[in-house]
Structure 1
Amino acid sequence: MGKQKLWTRNFINISLSNFFVFITFYYLLVSLPLYTISDLGGNELEAGLMVTVFLLSAIIIRPFAGQWLNTIGKRKTFLLSLVIFMISSLLYFFPTTSYSVLLLRLFHGIGFGMATTAAGGIVADLIPDSRKGEGMGYFIMSNNLAMVIGPFLALTVMNQYGMDAVFLLSAICGIIAFITGYFIKIPTANIQKPATEVRSENKQKLSLHNLFEVPALRISIVGGLFGFIYSSILSFVSVYAQEIGLIEASSFFFVVYAAVLLISRPFTGKWFDMYGPNVIIYPSIILFAIGMLLLGITNSSILFLLAAALIGLGWGTLFPSFQTIAIQAASPSRRGTATATFLSIFDTGVGIGSSVVGMIGAKIGFSSFYFYSSFYVLFGILFYYFIHDKIVKLSIKKTQSKSSGASTSI
């Protein structure tokens, strides 16, 4: 039997649409706080709220978006989200106060939360079952590339051409995200359902069970616990680099991070599919911990960038692995809800982490924080084992025991 095809037109389009959604997110993540202070006369609190309000609205909308994927359909939900996202991207030219920008960020976050949830549900349908780990790894790599290109592009455009150019490029990315998303076709086999099932779904009441995918909760909690530490990289690594006199090297941190991802992704995804998640996850946690340790003790550009490589290999492998496990825990009709569950809990970890890490870093210094956080990450082996791995193994043993008992009785 031949190898199932991964790189289809639909898979490429969903990856491109996701890339342009995330590049807009990271692009504005860097530029809007500076714009708030320098152009709108806002303070640091208002600048920080530009990120918080956006993520908060995304977190709140995701469980509902996961439900809509099952009721009104994945493609319709995705296109609606891209329309909201595109319109929001076009409106940044008009607000003249920090409060009006915050209102726009609230609206923009709704589109982002819906789009990322729908994209995760759709791509799970497009990737062949035999290549789930590999496919999710490549798909999530579009996020990682956006994380590198977005901030670099934002600072370059803002410094050379001003904020009007920043907003123009943001609008263009929003439009491209919609265009590439529009041409995605979900295979008929994945969207056709019996009429009785459709009627049953449409009658579903709004409940925690319908908004969250219970089998995906355990691995989502693990992802959220690691997301707490990842937020310190996302939000404060450039601040830390400035503190220790490595500001020039900081611009290459995420470049090295992404380069390692590009090199390792073809192998880690395939190993996930061939040997199971544990072969990938346990070593990745150790690499992530070593990277954080090096980051905390670094005094040179070489160690700083080596830390970036290890964090990229460790965390960059863990995130798609966790999300793949969450999706595989759900039935095909609930993959969208599983994606929403995972991303909501993960973003909650990142959101809480950004606030807490800022306070801790201000008190003990980011060098000490990164050093001690390496032990937290290493302790994550226990998080993963007791919250997910041990329970899965016990469940498999029970299933095998029942099957064995049934065979004996026959």
Structure 2
Amino acid sequence: MVKERLWTKDFVFVSIVNFVLMLSMYLLLVTMTTYSIKTYGASASLGGLVASIFVIGSLIGRLFSGKTIQDIGSKKILIMGISTFFILSLFYFLPISIYALIVLRLVQGIALGMATTATGTIVAEVIPSSRNGEGIGYFSMSVVLATAIGPLIGVALVSSIGYTSIFVFSTVMALVSVLLGVVVKAPNIEKIAGAESKAGKGFKLSNFFELNALPVATSMFVAAFAYSGILSFITGYTAEINLVQAGSFYFLVYAVVILLTRPISGPLMDKKGGNSVAYPGLLIFAVGMLLLSQVTTGWGLLLAAAIIGLGYGNFQSTSQALAIKVTPRHRMGLANSTYFIGLDLGLGAGPFVLGFIVPISGYRGMYETLVGLIIVALVVYYFAHGRKEKALTRPQKAAVNE
């Protein structure tokens, strides 16, 4: 049997668009707090709001773009999102108040939420069904790389050139996304007229969430909540245990491990099912978190980064692929937005809640607690999706064989 083609122009271009958008997001996310404090004399809490309000905007954008994609198409939402993101990038160069900056960050977050929901939907549409896990795995590396490279570029630019450089870089990235997004072709997905017309009447949860994808998104929320403890507190933790130099390579090692293992985990999911990656992924994630909580050397820290990359990184891409796999093709936009809402809620709510735990238990105690939370994520995955996976994915496999 000849493999269906995966690396098409549209697949590559959409992946690049997603990468440069997320790169810009993470670059600004790690620098806006200090920028607000130094430029506006803002308090630490207000500076944190300037940074985090972007995530809230992204959630709003995802919430409403899922249904809108069904109505007007993923390509139009993509163009609207990236064009708005680019235009708003220019406002960073204007002398505005800190409250105007907060509004700017909120609206730009909404634009990014729209654009990245569209990119995820377009990719799901252009990937052959027989290579769903593999394709989503490669696509999700655009987020993984952005998570690792964005903060590195942001800190390097600020320390060597100044804050204006991060705004120039972000604007250039936005322009690149516009140029590539314009030439992307999104397949036309036929609507089921009767169902869609009924769904559009009145307020229904199914108008904003894909209920088939909700179980997977719920398990992703719990796992992302645990991972947020690393995103938000790894810098403080490594400073406390005197491993700052090794800590600066943490996300690089994390990304490299995912790059090396994704070509294996994606095809494995397609052949053996999502459980073959999800269960080991969460268990390995728990082991990595436990090691992180006890680490005393630089090599130990980087080993923890590698193990967590192998575990959480592959669970993240697998759960996205599963959210799409159990969803009717005409509702892929809602499936993607539902998945990413779960992911973003976990990453956004985690730091706030965990911030109350750190003063009581310390960083090590917090990470030990998160080991238990990862086990909870595994249990949630089992009851929400894992035990039913064969029954849920059998229709898709049958369709592929036909």
Question: Which TM-score tier does this pair reach, normalised by the shorter chain?
Answer: over 0.9
Measured after TM superposition, the shift of residue 91 of structure 1 is 1.4
Q: Which runs of 5+ in 1 are unaligned?
A: 400-410
Report the TM-score when normalising by structure 2.
Answer: 0.94
Report the TM-score when normalising by structure 1.
Answer: 0.92
**1:156-305 alignment to 2 at 5 Å?**
156-187=156-187, 190-192=188-190, 196=193, 200=197, 204-305=201-302
Measured after TM superposition, the shift of residue 61 of structure 1 is 2.5
| Corresponding residue of 1:13 | 13
| Corresponding residue of 1:151 | 151
In terms of mean alpha carbon deviation, does 318-327 or 91-100 score higher? 91-100
Measure the CA separation in 1 of the matches of 2:195 and 2:376.
Answer: 44
| Corresponding residue of 2:324 | 327
Answer whether contact 1:82 1:115 (CA < 8 A) is retained.
yes
Provide the alpha-carbon RMSD of the alignment. Answer: 1.9
- Is the aligned partner of 1:61 residue 2:56? no
Answer whether contact 2:130 2:270 (CA < 8 A) is retained.
yes
Measure the CA separation in 1 of the matches of 2:22 and 2:41.
Answer: 27
How many matched pairs? 395
Measure the CA separation in 2 of the matches of 1:209 and 1:146.
Answer: 31
| Corresponding residue of 1:376 | 373
User: SS in structure 2 opposite 1:368?
Assistant: helix
Measure the CA separation in 2 of the matches of 1:395 and 1:117.
Answer: 23
**1:358-373 alignment to 2 at 5 Å?**
358-373=355-370
Measured after TM superposition, the shift of residue 391 of structure 1 is 4.0
| Corresponding residue of 2:100 | 100
Measured after TM superposition, the shift of residue 374 of structure 1 is 1.4
Measured after TM superposition, the shift of residue 198 of structure 1 is 10
Q: Give the direction of change, closer, same or farther, for the CA distance of 1:244–1:199 in structure 2 (3 Å limit).
A: closer
Measured after TM superposition, the shift of residue 380 of structure 1 is 2.5
Measure the CA separation in 1 of the matches of 2:93 and 2:82.
Answer: 19
Letter in 2 for 1:219: V
| Corresponding residue of 1:91 | 91
Measured after TM superposition, the shift of residue 175 of structure 1 is 0.7
Answer whether contact 1:70 1:201 (CA < 8 A) is retained.
no
User: SS in structure 2 opposite 1:245?
Assistant: coil
| Corresponding residue of 2:29 | 29
Q: Deviations over 1:20-56 (max 9, x none)?
A: 0000000001111110111211011111112331111
| Corresponding residue of 1:405 | none
Answer whether contact 2:281 2:312 (CA < 8 A) is retained.
yes
Measured after TM superposition, the shift of residue 151 of structure 1 is 0.6
Q: Deviations over 1:274-322 (max 9, x none)?
A: 1101111111111100100010000000110000000001000000111
Answer whether contact 2:64 2:208 (CA < 8 A) is retained.
yes
Letter in 2 for 1:289: A
| Corresponding residue of 2:398 | none
Measure the CA separation in 2 of the matches of 1:120 and 1:237.
Answer: 29
Letter in 2 for 1:21: L
Q: Which runs of 5+ in 2 are unaligned?
A: 396-402
Measure the CA separation in 2 of the matches of 1:166 and 1:379.
Answer: 39
Aligned residues with identical type, % of pairs:
37
Q: Deviations over 1:383-403 (max 9, x none)?
A: 111122224457789x9xxxx
In terms of mean alpha carbon deviation, does 199-208 or 52-61 score higher? 199-208
Letter in 1 for 2:147: M
Q: Which has the larger radius of gyration?
A: 1
Q: Give the direction of change, closer, same or farther, for the CA distance of 1:351–1:396 in structure 2 (3 Å limit).
A: closer
Measured after TM superposition, the shift of residue 158 of structure 1 is 0.7
Letter in 2 for 1:18: N
| Corresponding residue of 1:3 | 3
Measured after TM superposition, the shift of residue 331 of structure 1 is 0.6
